[in-house]
Amino acid sequence: MEETTPDTPLPAPHPAPRTTPTRATPAPSPPSCPGSAATSARRQRAAPRRAASTSTPSPGYLSRSEQNTLAGRRDRALLLLGFAAALRRSELVALDVEDLAFDRRRGVTIRVSKTDQEQEGTQVAVPYARAGNDVCPVRALHVYIEAAGIHRGPVFRRMRRGDTLTSAALRPSPSL
């Protein structure tokens, strides 16, 4: 048996308890009252909505062979409108016919509210492309709506086999 002297340290039976937590605790969320300081701070930090692009997407995405089918017309209108109006996927598939206002001079005005936390509504104007330009989002949208015979409800709808339109809206993200 070994003797312990006053200079020999004794082995610790257990490690010392931790005084700090192992994971950081999340900060409490700010109050969401409409008049609170946190809400006004969020409003001041929000970036303003960017203006719609005046250029057009690559013609490779918009081949003429797909314009013969209803699905091709839908996809063309979806791409051109989303690009011209700088809309998110969720905003595009949430569009209803009632949200669109066609005007012969100005093109189409779209009512969207994805970024609007106060639910006031925002309008985005998409003008006609110059004459002779075959990538006009307003004309593509009008051609699709007329070919599909849509009068109310979702604009961009799901398709069945055989180029048959359903009444269900497209989903914002692919189903897994």
Give mean pLDDT, residues 43-58: 56
Q: Are 153 and 167 in contact (CB under 8 A)?
A: yes
Distances (CA, A) of 93 to 16, 63, 172: 57, 22, 6
pTM listed for this prediction: 0.61
Neighbours of 18 (CB within 10 A): 7
| Domain map (residue ranges) of the chain | 59-159
User: Percentage of the chain surpassing pLDDT 90?
Assistant: 22
pLDDT at 47 > cutoff 80: no
Q: Are 166 and 160 in contact (CB under 8 A)?
A: yes
Neighbours of 100 (CB within 10 A): 18
Q: What class does CATH assign to 59-159? A: mainly alpha
Quote the pLDDT of residue 172.
Answer: 83
Tokens of 66: 């797909």
Which amino acid is residue 89, in one-letter code? R
Give mean pLDDT, residues 40-57: 56
